[in-house]
């Protein structure tokens, strides 16, 4: 039996159907490793009975701790709040929806103990992407685009579930960002990290809508790269050069051969094309300015309403 103190951190959002089973499975798993542990639930403004169920468990088991956020602040923010409360020598982060089995704690701990001096993080990577063809293509495209634009490489199919040393988590919490993309921060934090293939089941539905996924992808790219601004500038310069050459060509035709390009169709297409590109460029710049605006206000990422056993 290991003497290590382990913190298990998970978030709650529409999780009422999974909490009891999650608690039983993760408790049985961690008991195989140590008797010194804590389970931290972070209620991310869940609209169902998730908080009530977790509160009931915390009343019967003092090792179970709960923090209720005042509203839904987002999955990634809630995870960072949970990590702030964790005080274990090792911190196991996992979603409570049972898509990733809680028994991974034992697997990850065994792997880390075999080379404890050289491994600071053991994390899961999808063996096979779940979902339909569109989701699979969209997910793959996101990782390729992110890795192309960002200086922080993330393995395709990287999962939240991971076992981390306390020293790694302490440094991770130094990042004080308003727009949190936790997978990017975890890679940016460095240290020695080991990826392990994991089978992930599907519960049939996701709390992430298409708009929410698009918003997360935008936050991920703009939080870790200014390359979109660079490419917009280069594209604008290229368009200006091409336009200048076309103007010269038209002037030469007018001066030497009295040729005039006729037709409203080409003119209108050009106007709409250039107008769309200008609006897109302004939009990209606006996203970055908006992120600066939010960051400099230095508002807290989340408000904690109540805590239990914390």
Please say if the pLDDT value at position 214 is more than 90.
Answer: no
One domain for residues 170 and 277: no
Cα distance between residue 35 and residue 97, in whole Å: 24
One domain for residues 164 and 59: yes
Mean pLDDT of the chain: 82
- Phi, psi of 179, deg, nearest 5: -100, 100
One domain for residues 304 and 253: no
One domain for residues 47 and 183: yes
One domain for residues 196 and 234: no
Residue 295: which pLDDT band, with cuts at 50, 70 and 90? Answer: confident
pLDDT of residue 129: 66
Residue 225: which pLDDT band, with cuts at 50, 70 and 90? Answer: low
Across the range 123-148, mean pLDDT stands at: 74
One domain for residues 41 and 84: yes
Residues shown for the chain: 310
Q: 180 or 134, which is more confident?
A: 180
Does the residue 262 lie in any domain?
yes
Q: What are the pLDDT digits (tens) for 238-252?
A: 777 776 677 677 667
CA 13 to chain centre: 16
One domain for residues 243 and 163: no
Does the residue 149 lie in any domain?
no
One domain for residues 82 and 175: yes
- Count of domains in the chain? 2
Does the residue 284 lie in any domain?
yes
Does the residue 240 lie in any domain?
yes
- Phi, psi of 117, deg, nearest 5: -75, -25
Does the residue 87 lie in any domain?
yes
Does the residue 222 lie in any domain?
no
Does the residue 55 lie in any domain?
yes
Across the range 135-155, mean pLDDT stands at: 74
With tokens 């993080």, the residue in question is 121
One domain for residues 68 and 173: yes
What is the CATH classification number for the domain harbouring 175? 3.90.550.10
The torsion angle over the Cα atoms of residues 133, 139, 144 and 148, rounded to 10 degrees, is 150
Residue 285 domain boundaries: 227-296
Does the residue 213 lie in any domain?
no
The pTM for the full model equals 0.77
């Amino acid at each position: 039996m290991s003497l290590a103190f382990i913190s298990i951190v998970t978030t709650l959002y529409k999780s009422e159907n999974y909490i009891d089973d999650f608690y039983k499975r993760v408790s049985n798993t961690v008991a195989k490793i140590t008797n010194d542990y804590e389970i931290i639930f972070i209620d991310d403004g869940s609209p169902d009975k998730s908080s009530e169920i977790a509160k009931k468990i915390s009343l019967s088991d003092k090792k179970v701790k709960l923090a209720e956020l005042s509203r839904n602040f987002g999955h990634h923010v809630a995870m960072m709040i949970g990590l702030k409360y964790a005080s274990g020598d090792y911190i196991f982060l996992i979603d409570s929806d049972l898509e990733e089995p809680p028994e991974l704690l034992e697997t990850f701990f065994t792997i880390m103990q075999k080379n404890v001096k050289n491994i600071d993080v053991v994390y899961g990577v999808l063996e096979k992407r779940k979902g339909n063809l569109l989701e699979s293509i969209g997910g793959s495209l996101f990782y390729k685009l992110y890795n192309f634009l960002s200086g922080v490489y993330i393995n395709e199919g990287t999962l939240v579930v991971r076992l981390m040393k306390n020293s790694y988590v302490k440094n991770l919490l130094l990042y004080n960002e308003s727009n949190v993309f936790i997978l990017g921060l975890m890679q940016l934090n460095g240290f020695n990290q080991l990826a392990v293939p994991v089978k992930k089941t599907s519960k049939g539905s996701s709390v992430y809508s298409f708009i929410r996924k698009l918003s997360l992808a935008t936050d991920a790219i703009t939080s870790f790269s200014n390359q979109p601004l660079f490419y917009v500038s280069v594209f604008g310069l290229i368009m200006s050069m091409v336009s200048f050459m076309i103007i010269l060509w038209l002037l030469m035709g007018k001066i030497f051969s009295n040729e005039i390009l006729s037709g409203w169709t080409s003119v209108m297409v050009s106007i709409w094309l250039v107008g769309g590109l200008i609006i897109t460029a302004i939009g990209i710049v606006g996203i970055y300015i908006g992120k600066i605006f939010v960051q400099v206000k230095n508002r807290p990422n989340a408000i904690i309403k109540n805590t239990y056993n914390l």
